[in-house]
Structure 1
Amino acid sequence: MSGTIIITGASQGIGKTTAEVFLEAGWTVGVLARSAEKLDAFCKGRDKAVPLAADVADSAAVDAAFAQFVEKAGRIDAIFNNAGRGSKPVSIDEIDDETWNAVVGVNLNGMFNCARAAFRQMRRQAPQGGRIVNNGSISAHSPRWHSVPYTTTKHAITGLTKSLALDGREFDIACGQIDIGNALTDMTQDMASGRPQADGSMKPEPTMDARHVAETVLSMCRLPLETNVQFVTIMATKMPFVGRG
């Protein structure tokens, strides 16, 4: 089974890997990120890849990008709501407004903007329906040390996922969440040398191939709409999550 999907945060990391896996599976993929240059480079020679340059925190830009994709692909069967960012690990009294608003802008407002645009299209298209997969992160369950902005937004995504799963029922819109731990990307290379732990120490952490995450998202999106993976956790087996701290 193949279809059409928009993947946010697709210029690097998990998003880029997921876009590659969906393209290999024959899907038409809208790759959405801020960098038009990176997207154009990724899409070159890939007929089914559609570059969508937009900042997810800008609702007007998101709406325009989704409309552009529908004009090209005809419909949206799925979205991987993946774009996110973190911040410097400090305690809450050292977090300024700019940092807080930047993380909330991408991780919460951005995911809302993309979910809303997807829901709107899925509700009105024929056949009606589609699937929204939100990237929650295992920080939606258990925080890292000094991660108030990131952890707060990821807990909020769980609420978004549950609400969309409920509200989408009458329109055949399924919504699930993938919670990812220690996928190896360019942004997590430092895990091998050490990450701060809850006791203040620095310890290396095991990682897993980001392709396993992408293949899990693909499996979720291949399901018929009468079936939903509500929540799934995929993580490096030996990472400090269960019993973290």
Structure 2
Amino acid sequence: MDAVRRIAVVTGAGSGIGRSVALALAEAGWSLALAGRRAGALEETAALAAGAETLCVPTDVTSPDEVAALFGAVRDRYGRVDVLFNNAGTFAGGGTPVEDLAHETWRQAVDVNLTGAFLCAQAAFRQMKEQSPQGGRIINNGSISAHVPRPHSVAYTATKHAMTGLTKSLSLEGRPYRIACGQIDIGNAATEMTERMQAGILQANGTLAPEPVMDAADVARTVVHMASLPLEANVQFATVMATTMPYIGRG
């Protein structure tokens, strides 16, 4: 990074992958803006990142006004953004067959996973374009579901496929402004969202089977590597997964 002081915004920072990435960035010397719906959870992440400079901004990423307020607070506190880890997401509708999926549930998945990611990326892009030195990096949290679906996951899978298009478009449009964009596709990291996988989850052949998981810290180390590259280099897509999860050969 060009700036000696490196500033990262992490959405969904109150738990799971977001918290793990925030702590790994803190350990690597980054200053952090932590965003998420729950103020208490953000404060817990900040406390765990003791020694790092942190800013907690409760944010609903589906709200343009709240996203604007988040990046305004970051600008006021730090003066710039070097990295956005675009991580906030929901598995809304997971486990529901397509014919039974409620419109409201579909909209929730699209609003959080796609529109929320776009709003945060747009705000970060604007800041990175305007700041001096110009540029920065956006890292989108995709998923194995950006490649292949699970049964009964149409809303989540559709939004994660769309995330890949968002990543590619941001990469292209960011070139003139030294804005890099990459995507990390994560499979079976051990978080609150994946607890059910170890008890047994629906497979493509209709059976229930437990699936292996990996430590979320292994994902976080990859994000830190992506974040720390000079802007002349970019990890466009990375897949980090539990080694023996049923991805290769799924379906």
TM-score if structure 2 supplies the norm length?
Answer: 0.95
- Unmatched segments (≥5 aa) in structure 1: none
Which residue of structure 2 lines up, in the alignment, with residue 12 of structure 1? 15
Counterparts of 1:218 and 1:73, CA distance in 2: 20
Counterpart contact for 2:182–2:237, Cα < 8 Å: yes
Worse-superposed segment, 214-223 or 190-199: 190-199
221-230 or 85-94, larger mean C-alpha shift: 85-94
Following superposition of structure 1 onto structure 2, how do residues 131-170 of structure 1 map, counting pairs within 5 Å?
Answer: 131-170=137-176
- 1:178 aligned to which of 180, 184, 208: 184
1:187, distance to aligned residue in structure 2 (A) = 2.1
> What are the within-5 Å matches in structure 2 for residues 195-206 of structure 1?
195-206=201-212
CA distance in 2, matches of 1:68, 1:107: 23
1:80 is aligned to 2:85: yes
Correspondence list, 1:104-119, <5 A: 104-119=110-125
Q: Could you tell me how far 1:137 is from its partner in structure 2?
A: 0.4
Q: In structure 2, what residue type is equivalent to 1:166?
A: L
Contact 2:90 2:109 in 1 (8 A): yes
Quote the residue 2:38 is aligned against.
35
Question: Within 5 Å, which residues of 2 pair with 1:49-68?
Answer: 49-68=54-73
* Structure 1 consecutive aligned stretches of length 4 or more whose deviation exceeds 3 Å: 44-47
Q: Deviations over 1:158-205 (max 9, x none)?
A: 000000000000000000000000000122122111111011111010
Aligned-residue identity in percent: 52
Q: Distance in 2 between matches of 1:6 and 1:244?
A: 34
> Between Structure 1 and Structure 2, how many residues are aligned?
245
Secondary structure of the residue aligned to 1:184 is coil
C-alpha separation in 1, matches of 2:41 and 2:242: 28
Provide the C-alpha distance between the structure 1 equivalents of 2:198 and 2:107, rounded to a whole number of angstroms: 30
1:230, 1:192 → 2: CA distance?
Answer: 30
Q: Per-residue deviation at 1:46?
A: 4.8
Deviations 1:125-146 (A, max 9, x none): 0000000000110100000001
Shift of 1:41: 3.0
- Contact kept, 8 Å, 2:23 with 2:45, in 1: the verdict is no
Matched, 1:103 2:109: yes
1:184-227 per-residue CA deviation (whole Å, 9 max, x = no partner) reads 01221221111110111110101111001111000001100010
Question: Whole-Å Cα distance in 2 between the matches of residues 187 and 107 of structure 1?
Answer: 14
- Partners in 1 of 2:206 and 2:90 — Cα distance? 22
Give the letter for the 1:211 counterpart. A
Change (3 A) 1:25 1:167: same
SS in 2 for 1:68: helix
Structure 1 residue 71: Cα displacement: 1.0
2:10 counterpart letter in structure 1: I
Cα deviations by residue, 1:79-128 (Å, 9 ceiling, x for unpaired): 00001001231211101111001000000000000000000000000000
Whether 2:238 is the aligned partner of 1:235: answer no
Kindly provide the amino acid, as one letter, of the partner of residue 220 in structure 1.
Answer: M
Is the Cα–Cα contact under 8 Å of residues 144 and 187 in structure 2 kept in the other structure? yes
How far 1:47 sits from its partner (Å)?
Answer: 4.8
Distance in 2, matches of 1:93 and 1:6, equals 38
